[in-house]
Each structure stands twice: as structure tokens, then as C-alpha cells.
Amino acid sequence: MGETAIHPSVVVEPGAEIGGGCRIGPFCHIGPQVRLGPGVTLKSHVVVTGQTEIGEGTVIFPFACIGEIPQDLKFRGEATRLVIGARNRIREHVTMNTGTEAGGGVTRVGDDGLFMAGCHIAHDVQIGNRVIVVNNAALAGHCVIEDEVIIGGLSGVHQFVRIGHGAIIGAVTMVTNDVIPYGLVQGPRGYLDGLNLVGLKRRGVPRADITALRAAFQMLAQGEGAFQDRARRLGEETESDYVRRIMDFVGAHTDRSYLTPGQG
């Protein structure tokens, strides 16, 4: 990992904690409540402020602003946090805000994510592992993004929306309702247009589970009765853990309704 290297132009305020092997390039500013884990790299012109913790091996590119206060008019300066996991890649002009007291107080980002240029992570968002947020996409407050989700460029996700494990959101999509695990959502006002089959195959999901997921999607799309009733029946009948993950997701509490197949 090597020794810590800090450029002479960097401002590190008293109280900041810099882990071993960090590399901090020109004109970065690190606030007094910041904790950088081992091997973190700040390329140049990066601002890290607030009560912010960044995990081992994360790399942040120029002009990102990490840990500033929420864009919420109700915020009154209460002590809230931003926690970022290990080995993330946070590209140019990305913004990530701390939480709010009403939202639980913590914005949290998992491990091994890629946050492309200009994307925004708002207050109290909870992001899992191996998530990709493409250029200029924005996540509003209180969203929950589960593991292995991809959010396409120039997309927007409404506050309190949940996006399930392995789902994919197409470019230039507005997502206003929850998205089931492995779902494919696209369109200017996003609608559920199938399953993320490419992602499932890339991850080596067994063919039997993909077949079960396809059958489950068809039942959700075209079966009899209300969406929640169809989901409950699926949960009772399926032997696939992947289908059960969808049913568990649908059965959980939500502050938004669900995107159902073909719904704009």
C-alpha cells in the first residue's frame, strides 16, 4: 500500500483522520470530522467534509464534493453522517450528501460501486454493493438501492423509491415507484418492461432460476387478481430463491407503490 502521500497544497483540518497509504492530490480539502480508511485516493480538487467516513481503497476523482449538508430546507444543522464503503470509484463532479435526522441520520454507500461523472446521491439514501450509477443520474432522498443495481445515465429516482437487487434502469428514465428485483425499467416515465436477463446471465444464475423468474414475471404481468395477491400466490408456490427474493421485496413495507409490468 505504501506510505501516505499528501500534496503540499492540500488543506487537512485538525481532527481529520487519514489512514495509512492514502494518496491525496493537489488542492483537496478535508474537513475536521472526516475519516479516510487505508489506501483511499483523492485525485485532486476533491472536497470531503461533514461527518464522513470513506472505506479502504476508494478512489475519488477531481471536483467531487462528498459529505456536504443535505439539500433539504428542513435541515437545521443536526449531526448526521455519510458512510462510504470500500473500493468505490467516485468520478468527477459527483455529489454525496449526509443524512437528515428525520431520515435516520445516515446516508450509506456499500462496497465496490461505480459512481460516474456528475451523479448525485441525496440525503438518507441507502446503497448496496456493486452498484453502478451512470453519468448525471440523480437519486433523491431516502431511496434504497439494493446490490448489483445499474441506473442509466440522466435518470432520476424519486424520493423513498426502492430498487431491488439486480434491477436495471435504462437511460433517461424517471422512476417514481418501487422496482422489483431483477426488473428492467425504461422510458421517460419509467415502466417495468421485463427482466434484467443480461445481468442474470452474466452473474451465472442457473437456467432453471431464469426460467422461474420469467414465469413469475408473466404471472405478475398477466395473472388474475390484484398485483399483491398474485405476488403472494407466487411466494407460496415457487421453489426458486430468486423468485422468493422478489416476493419478499413486494411483501415489505414501502412508501411508494410498485411499478407493475407495462405501467408508465
Q: How far apart are CA 229 and CA 96, in angstroms?
A: 38
Catalytic residue among 120, 123, 142, 165: 123
Is 229 catalytic? The answer is no
Q: How far apart are CA 54 and CA 44, in angstroms?
A: 16
Is 123 catalytic? The answer is yes
Q: How far apart are CA 51 and CA 79, in angstroms?
A: 8
Catalytic residue among 111, 112, 124, 178: 124
Strand partners, 24: 6, 42
137 touches 153 (CB < 8 A) = yes
Catalytic residue among 141, 153, 166, 190: 141
In three-state secondary structure terms, 220 is helix
Is 124 catalytic? The answer is yes
Residue ranges in the chain assigned as alpha helix (H): 197-202, 207-222, 227-237, 241-251
**What is the set of active-site residues?**
123-124, 141
